[in-house]
Amino acid sequence: MNFLKRGLLSITRRKGKSLILLAVLFILGNVIAGAISISQATANVEESIKDKLGTAATVELDYEELESMDESEMMNFEIQNLDEELINQIGELPYVKYYDYNTTTYLASEEIDSYNGMEEEDGEYIEQGMGMEFQLKGVNYAPVLDIEEGKSNLVEGRVFTEEEIENGTPVAIISKKLAEKNNIQVGDTLSLMNQIYEFSESGEEEITDSRDVPLEVVGIFEPQTVNTDSENQEQADFMDMELQNTIYVANEIVSQEIKYSVGDQAEYEDYFIPAFVLNKPEDAEAFEEEVTPLLPELFIVRHATDSYESIAAPIESMSTLSKYVLIVSIITTILIIGLVVLLFLRDRKHELGIYLSLGESRIRVIGQIVTEVLIVSIIGMTLSLFTGNLLAQTVSDSMIDNDNNNQREEQMYYSEMQTDLTTDDVLEAYEVNLTGEFILLFYAVGIITILLSTLIPLIYIIRLNPKKIMM
C-alpha cells in the first residue's frame, strides 16, 4: 500500500471531510472557471475582431491634439499636407505589404442616377434635383486597395493598369448597384459633371461653370455587406449608399477636377490620405516607431485595430473585471484551501505521526496529502468546469447588456481608419465556449493554485515531531 493508495483510502474513509473539501473547491472552482471563461472569451473576441480589422494603418492629423490647443495657438498653427514623397518613403518601409493614397471629390451627373439606399430604391424616394452625389475616389495603387483587402469584390471587368494610374487615363470602376440602376456594362462610358458654384448676395447658390467628365467603365465592384441590427440601420444605409456611389479613378483625374472646381481662387495643393497595409499585425509597433519621426507636426499613425478599443468597450470592461476576479479568486482559493487542509491535517496529526514513526519519509507523507487534495480538487474542478462556464455565460450576458446600454452613446468618433465593424459585431463575436484551450488553462491554473494552497500545510508536516505525537 504505497502513499498514493493510502491517499485514495483516506479520501474514501473520510467521506465527510472529503465532501466538505469538495464543496469548497467546487464553489471556488466556479469563480475561477467563470473568470477564465470570460477572460478567454474576451481575448478571443479581441483576436478575431483585430483580425477582421486587418493590418491597415494610416497617417493622419491628430484632431484630438488639435482641439486641445488654445485659440491663439490654433490660429498660428499651420497644418501641413502629407506630400507624395513622404507617403512613398513610408510605403517603401519593409513592414508595408502594399500602400495607396487617395484624394477624393464629389461630382454630379445629368446622365446617370445615384443609388439611394435600399428603402428609397423600393420606390418611395423622390429625387430632388442634381447634387454632388458621386464620390470620385482617386487611387494610386492600380489593383485598388479596397478590392485587394477584401472590402469590395471585383465582380466584372478588371482593375486599373499601372499606365492608366500614371497617365490619369479616364477609366473607372463602379459599383454593381450603380451599374444595374443605370444599365451600365463594362466598356460603356458614363458621364459625370463637375460644377463650379457661386453664392449670390441673397445666399442662393448659382452654377457659374461646368464641364463633363466622361469615364470608361473598366470594372464593376460589389462592396462587402455589413451586418447590422435595426438600431444601426440608418447609419449602415448611409455608409452603404456612399460606397455604392463611389467611383474609383486614378488620383490624377480627381486632382484635375478639384483644380478645375477651385479655379484660380487659390493655389491648390493635393490632399492625400494614405493607407498602408502591413505584412503582419506584429509589425504595427515597429512601423509606428519608424514612421512617427518622419511625420509633420501633429500627425500620428493610426492603425485599423485602434478602433477596437472604441467599439469593444463593454467587452474591455468585462475583460478587466474578469482579470481582477481571477486574481482575487486565486488568492482566496490559496488561503481558504490552505486553511481547510491545515485544519484537516491537525485532525490527522496522529496518523501523520504514525507514518513518520514507521520511518516513512516526509516527502512521501507530503506526497500523500498532495495526492488527496489533488484528487478531490480535480473532481471539484471538473464539476465546476461546466457550471462555471454556464455561470460565465449568464453573468457576461447580463454585464454586456448593462455596459452596452450605458456606453452606446460614447462610441462615435471619426477617423480615416474607422471601421464598418460596430460594438454589435464585437458583442456578436463574444461567445463563452467550453473549448479545449479553456479546459487546459482552467486545469493548469486550478492545479497550480491548489499546489500553492498546500504549501502552508506542508510546512506543518515538515515540522511534525513523531516522538511528541506518539510517546
Partner 1 sequence: MILETKELNYYYQDGESRRFVLKDTNVSFDKGKFYTILGQSGSGKTTLLSLLSAMDTPHNGEVVFDGKNILEIGHDNYRRNKVGIIFQSYNLIPTFTAVENVLVSMSITENELPDDHKTVAYNLLDYIGISQDKANRTVNKLSGGEQQRVAIARALSTNVELILADEPTGNLDEGMEQEIIDIFKKLAHEHNKCVIMVTHSNDIAMQSEQTFYLKKGVLNTNE
Point out which residues bind partner 1 (CB under 8 A).
Answer: 1-3, 5-6, 9-10, 13-14, 350-351, 353-361, 466-467, 470-471
Question: For 435, left (φ over 0), alpha (ψ -120 to 50), or beta?
Answer: beta
Closest CB 282 distance from partner 1, rounded Å: 55
Closest CB 353 distance from partner 1, rounded Å: 7
**Among 398, 320, 336, CA closest to 29:** 336
Closest CB 3 distance from partner 1, rounded Å: 8
Closest CB 357 distance from partner 1, rounded Å: 6
Backbone phi, psi, residue 119, to 5°: -70, -45
Residue with smaller CB distance to partner 1, 217 or 356: 356
Closest CB 360 distance from partner 1, rounded Å: 5
Q: How far apart are CA 111 and CA 214, in angstroms?
A: 11
Closest CB 463 distance from partner 1, rounded Å: 15
Residue with smaller CB distance to partner 1, 2 or 200: 2
Q: Residue 412, Cβ neighbours under 10 Å: how many?
A: 9
Residue with smaller CB distance to partner 1, 156 or 351: 351
Contact 97, 64 (CB under 8 A): no
384 burial type by CB count under 10 A (0-12 exposed, 13-18 middle, 19+ buried): buried
Residue with smaller CB distance to partner 1, 463 or 467: 467
Contact 258, 105 (CB under 8 A): yes
Closest CB 358 distance from partner 1, rounded Å: 5
Residue with smaller CB distance to partner 1, 4 or 390: 4
Element (H, E) at 101: strand 96-102
Eight-state DSSP code of residue 350? H
**Among 287, 306, 447, CA closest to 378:** 447
**Among 225, 299, 206, 212, CA closest to 260:** 212
Residue with smaller CB distance to partner 1, 241 or 369: 369
Closest CB 424 distance from partner 1, rounded Å: 59
Residue with smaller CB distance to partner 1, 277 or 369: 369
Question: For 187, left (φ over 0), alpha (ψ -120 to 50), or beta?
Answer: left
Element (H, E) at 255: helix 251-262
Residue with smaller CB distance to partner 1, 1 or 266: 1
Contact 196, 208 (CB under 8 A): yes
Closest CB 356 distance from partner 1, rounded Å: 8
Distances (CA, A) of 417 to 60, 179, 306, 308, 423: 9, 28, 8, 11, 16
Which grid coordinates are listed for 450? 491548489
Element (H, E) at 453: helix 436-453
Closest CB 460 distance from partner 1, rounded Å: 18
Residue with smaller CB distance to partner 1, 280 or 468: 468
Contact 122, 181 (CB under 8 A): no
Residue with smaller CB distance to partner 1, 266 or 358: 358
Residue with smaller CB distance to partner 1, 4 or 441: 4
Q: Distance of alpha carbon 251 from its chain centroid, rounded?
A: 31
Give strand ranges (E) for 246-295. 246-250, 273-278
Eight-state DSSP code of residue 211? E
Residues 6+ apart with CB under 8 A from 235: 228
Closest CB 350 distance from partner 1, rounded Å: 7
